[in-house]
Amino acid sequence: MKDLNAYRKSYEKSELLEDSISSNPMELFHHWFQEAENSNTIEEINAMTVATIGLDGFPKSRVVLLKQYSEAGFVFYTNYNSEKGKAIKNNPNICLSFFWHSLERQIIIKGIAAKVKPEISDAYFASRPKGSQLGAVVSNQSEIIASRAILEQKLTNLEIEFKDKELPRPQNWGGFIVKPLEIEFWQGRPNRLHDRIRFEINNDFNWKMERLSP
């Protein structure tokens, strides 16, 4: 057994106090996201973990890329027939999380996922590089395949077929928007007394802010 007990880090870069933040968690998210962008210390700021409950009853997490966010929610794209797509169809209650190590911050979002309108998926698909478009068509995401050579051959065939043509968005590929019900902001602090501020949506659609013990 490898002993990791000596792995220690003191978090001392910032603080999260109620009287210095917005009462709207989406405004606070935007502020933190901009600070992450401006820090120039994070390679993929929009990388986030998506956790779902699978058809087998087990939770599963994977990293995807956030592509849009607004007061309405957080948008990412995937194959609707993938493992995560099927899990969301079966149970739309999911969790998103961001961890920005260099800023000693994380954000945890509980919400309900739903497909975005087809025209939104169409517009995003059309904006992708041709290679990414082809990859979305070639891959039956999460399905078992015999070898990588099969993928590469399918890609070659599709490149020839659509060399001088636009590629339409596959109907089984598109976006999900996650409507947040709870957003927790975590700021690392010394002595493991981290700041945790949680926002929960009320029945009147206003946000309630609470501090959690670390």
Mean per-residue pLDDT pooled into runs of 10, the chain (214 residues): 90 94 97 97 97 98 98 97 98 98 98 98 96 91 91 91 91 97 97 97 92 97
CA 100 to chain centre: 13
Q: What is the pLDDT of residue 204?
A: 84
Closest by CA position to 93, among listed 64, 48, 52, 49: 52
Q: What is the pLDDT of residue 203?
A: 86
Q: What is the pLDDT of residue 8?
A: 87
> What domains lie within the chain, and their CATH numbers?
18-212 (2.30.110.10)
Distances (CA, A) of 25 to 103, 165, 195, 199, 200: 18, 43, 15, 7, 9
Q: Are 98 and 106 in contact (CB under 8 A)?
A: yes
Which stretches of 14-162 are assigned E, i.e. beta strand? 47-53, 59-65, 68-70, 73-79, 93-100, 105-115
Q: Structure pTM?
A: 0.93
Residue burial 180-214, b: 16+ Cβ < 10 Å; e: rest: bebbbbbbbbeeeebbbbbbbbeeeeebebeeeee
Closest by CA position to 122, among listed 80, 169, 75, 160: 169
From 62, 128, 192, 211, active-site residue: 192
Q: Is 128 a catalytic residue?
A: no
Three-state secondary structure call for residue 35: helix
Q: What is the pLDDT of residue 107?
A: 98
Distance CA 130, CA 135 (A): 9
List the structure tokens of 153. 């051959």
Q: Are 45 and 30 in contact (CB under 8 A)?
A: no
Q: What is the pLDDT of residue 213?
A: 97
| Span 9-48, pLDDT tens digits | 899 999 999 999 999 999 999 999 999 999 999 999 999 9
Q: What is the pLDDT of residue 140?
A: 87
Distance CA 109, CA 180 (A): 6
Distance CA 86, CA 211 (A): 35
Distance CA 89, CA 160 (A): 34
